[in-house]
Every structure is written in structure tokens, then in C-alpha cells.
């Protein structure tokens, strides 16, 4: 079977989910596909470009289904939960996505997605700042959850299996939501 970008990203996601970001290498992906690593570089010039494609795949569900017929604070809550769910669906996804966003790589940017749905009368800088604040909260929260899950699985800390902290997440986005009430339109 021919090596395609889609197969490479799918293989990378399998490795990410099984072994984590630290073990996601071009050689391991190539081995999983039964090809030489050079075949991967034909499609992706370097590992960062591949990680950006993987991040785009992880984030793809976030751009769908933003309900615009609800009040803005409710829409932001819905979007934040959607982003969190997308990140929690893959091991170490928050770390991978954060590094991709920090490098300005990838074509799916969650902060840009939600900024497009904010009040068009607002200055663009205000919309972007609000979107980034929400994005940074979600990324940081999920990164902590995923790190804790790894520590639990390694026996470094005692706790239940998945490291999720739904109550803390809801409290955090609730505070962000409450802060939006004071924003002038």
C-alpha cells in the first residue's frame, strides 16, 4: 500500500496514543508503515511539519459545531469543552498542540477558530486576546491532566487512572465565562 500523508498521520497518532510524544519518531512511524524513514520525508520535510499535521488532525473536530445561536459566554463554554475533549482523545495531545501553536505551525488554530465567532464590532486585538486566554487555559489544564495520567500509570503518584479533573476544569472556564460579563461590547 502506498505511503500517503493520511497514512503517516494515522500511524503517528497510533504511536502517540500507545507510546506518547517522547517516543514519536520518524523511524518508529516508518517502521509501523513498513517503509524506510526517507519515505516519510518525501511527504513531510521535517518532524515539526509532521507534528503540525498531527496537531491539525487532533484539532479538526474543534472547528465543527460551534453553535452561534447561543449567548457568547455559552458558546465559549461549549467551544472550550470541545477543545478539551479533542485533546483528551489522544495521549500527550496538549503538549503536542501547544508546541505546534508556539511554533506557528499547522493550519488549525483553535484561538483563530473561536476569534472568528466573537463580536465583529470588537477590535481584532481584543477578540484574539480573549480567544488566546481561553485557549491557554484549556491547553494548560489538559496538559496537567495528561501529565498526571502518565505519572499515575508509571506509579509515580497514587491516584485513579485517567488524571481528569472535571470539577477544576468547569470552575476555571466558569471564571473565564464570568469575566466575560464585564467586557464592553
Please tell me the distance from the alpha carbon of residue 90 to that of residue 97, in angstroms, as a whole number: 11
pLDDT of residue 34: 95
Of 123, 65, 51, 60, nearest to 131 by C-alpha is: 123
Domain residues for the domain of 13 are 5-45
* CATH of residue 38: 1.10.10.60
Q: 98 and 25: one domain?
A: no
Q: What is the pLDDT of residues 155-168, one digit of tens each?
A: 898 877 778 899 99
**In the structure grid, which three cell numbers stand for residue 159, read together?**
491516584
Q: What is the pLDDT of residues 25-70, one digit of tens each?
A: 999 999 999 999 999 999 999 999 999 999 999 999 998 767 778 8
How large a percentage of the chain has pLDDT more than 90?
69
Cα 75 from chain centroid?
Answer: 18
Residue 71 has pLDDT above 60, yes or no: yes
Domain for residue 144, yes or no?
yes
Distances in whole angstroms, Cα of residue 111 to Cα of each of 83, 107, 127:
10, 12, 9
Q: What is the pLDDT of residues 78-102, one digit of tens each?
A: 999 999 999 999 999 999 999 999 9
Q: 158 and 82: one domain?
A: yes
Please tell me the distance from the alpha carbon of residue 88 to that of residue 55, in angstroms, as a whole number: 13
Q: 89 and 16: one domain?
A: no
Q: 39 and 122: one domain?
A: no
Q: 87 and 28: one domain?
A: no
Domain for residue 40, yes or no?
yes
Q: 147 and 67: one domain?
A: yes
Residue 137 has pLDDT above 70, yes or no: yes
Q: 158 and 117: one domain?
A: yes
Q: 172 and 139: one domain?
A: yes
Q: 85 and 172: one domain?
A: yes
Q: 65 and 38: one domain?
A: no
Domain for residue 146, yes or no?
yes
For 135, how many CA atoms within 13 A lie in the half-sphere containing its CB?
21
pLDDT of residue 180: 82
Of 82, 104, 103, 87, nearest to 16 by C-alpha is: 87
Q: 41 and 63: one domain?
A: no
**In the structure grid, which three cell numbers stand for residue 63, read together?**
472547528
Q: 150 and 83: one domain?
A: yes
pLDDT of residue 65: 67
Q: How many domains does the chain have?
A: 2
Phi, psi of 115 (to 5 degrees): -60, -30
Domain for residue 50, yes or no?
no
Domain for residue 53, yes or no?
no
Amino acid at each position: 500500500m502506498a505511503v500517503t500523508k493520511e497514512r503517516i498521520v494515522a500511524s503517528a497518532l497510533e504511536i502517540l496514543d500507545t507510546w506518547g510524544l517522547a517516543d514519536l519518531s520518524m523511524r518508529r512511524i516508518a517502521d509501523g508503515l513498513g517503509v524506510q524513514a526517507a519515505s516519510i520525508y518525501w511527504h513531510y520535510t521535517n518532524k515539526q511539519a509532521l507534528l503540525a499535521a498531527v496537531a491539525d488532525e487532533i484539532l479538526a473536530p474543534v472547528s465543527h459545531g460551534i453553535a452561534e445561536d447561543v449567548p457568547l459566554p455559552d458558546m465559549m463554554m461549549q467551544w472550550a469543552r470541545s477543545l478539551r475533549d479533542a485533546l483528551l482523545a489522544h495521549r500527550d495531545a496538549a503538549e503536542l498542540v501547544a508546541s505546534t501553536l508556539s511554533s506557528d505551525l499547522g493550519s488549525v488554530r483553535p484561538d483563530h477558530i473561536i476569534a472568528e465567532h466573537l463580536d465583529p464590532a470588537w477590535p481584532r486585538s481584543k477578540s484574539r486576546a480573549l480567544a488566546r486566554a481561553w485557549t491557554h487555559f484549556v491547553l494548560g489544564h489538559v496538559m496537567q491532566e495528561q501529565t498526571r495520567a502518565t505519572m499515575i500509570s508509571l506509579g509515580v503518584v497514587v491516584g485513579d487512572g485517567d488524571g481528569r479533573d472535571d470539577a477544576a476544569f468547569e470552575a476555571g472556564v466558569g471564571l473565564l465565562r464570568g469575566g466575560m460579563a464585564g467586557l464592553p461590547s
